[in-house]
Amino acid sequence: MKPISSKQLLHFYARMPEPLQQEALEKTFERFYTLKSRNTEGLNRSMLYHQALLFVLENYYDTLTIGSVKKNSRELDSLNEKNKLQLKMFDKSKKRSPQKRSKLLDQYAPLIYQLKEENGQSYSQICHYLAKSKKLKVDRTYICKIYPKIKQKVEDLKAISLQENSIF
C-alpha cells in the first residue's frame, strides 16, 4: 500500500464528520499518553501530540481502504470494521439544505409561472432568463421536475388572494 503524507491525513481529518473527529481526538489523547509515558526525553509535547494524531488518522485511513489490499480483503472483522467506519463517514447530518429548490419555490415561483404560462416560454428559455437576469444557474430538467409544485403553489396563492378579495 502506498504511504500517505501527513498533509493528506490532515485533509482526511478535515473531511470527517464531527462525531468521528471527536472520536479520533479521544483516541489521539490515549495514544499521546502512551507515547509520553514511553518517551519522556527528546521530543516535545506538541511533536508527540502531532505524531499521535497522525498515527490515529492513518489507522482510520487504513481501515477505510482495507478492501483494496488483497490479503486483508478476506478478513471479516476488518471488513466489518471498515463498514462501520464508512457509515460514520457518511454522516446524514451534513446534508446540505436544497437552497436552489427553496429559492425557486419561494422567491421565483410567480416569475417562473408567469414566464411559462402567460408568456409561453420553454424551460430552456426560463433557465437562460434566470441565469442572465437573476444570476441563478439552474438546469432546465430541474425546473421541469419541480414545475408542477411551482404551478400548484402559485395557483393556491391566487385562490387565497381571490378569497381574501371577495370577503372584503
CB 29 within 8 A of CB 48: no
Average pLDDT, the chain: 82
Please tell me the pTM assigned to this model.
Answer: 0.46
| Mean pLDDT for the stretch of residues 109-131 | 94
pLDDT surpassing 80 at residue 87:
no
- Domain layout of the chain by residue ranges: 6-93, 99-167
- Pick from 99, 121, 108: nearest CA to 150: 108
Q: How confident is the model at residue 147 (pLDDT cuts 50, 70, 90)?
A: very high
Q: Place 80 in a pLDDT band, splitting at 50, 70 and 90.
A: confident
Residue 89 predicted with pLDDT over 90: no
Helices 140-167, 123-133: crossing angle, 10 deg rounding: 80
What pLDDT was estimated at residue 132? 94
* 38 vs 125, more confident: 125
Inform me whether the pLDDT recorded for 133 exceeds 70.
Answer: yes
Average pLDDT over residues 120-143: 93
Give per-residue pLDDT as tens, 149-167: 999 999 998 888 888 776 6
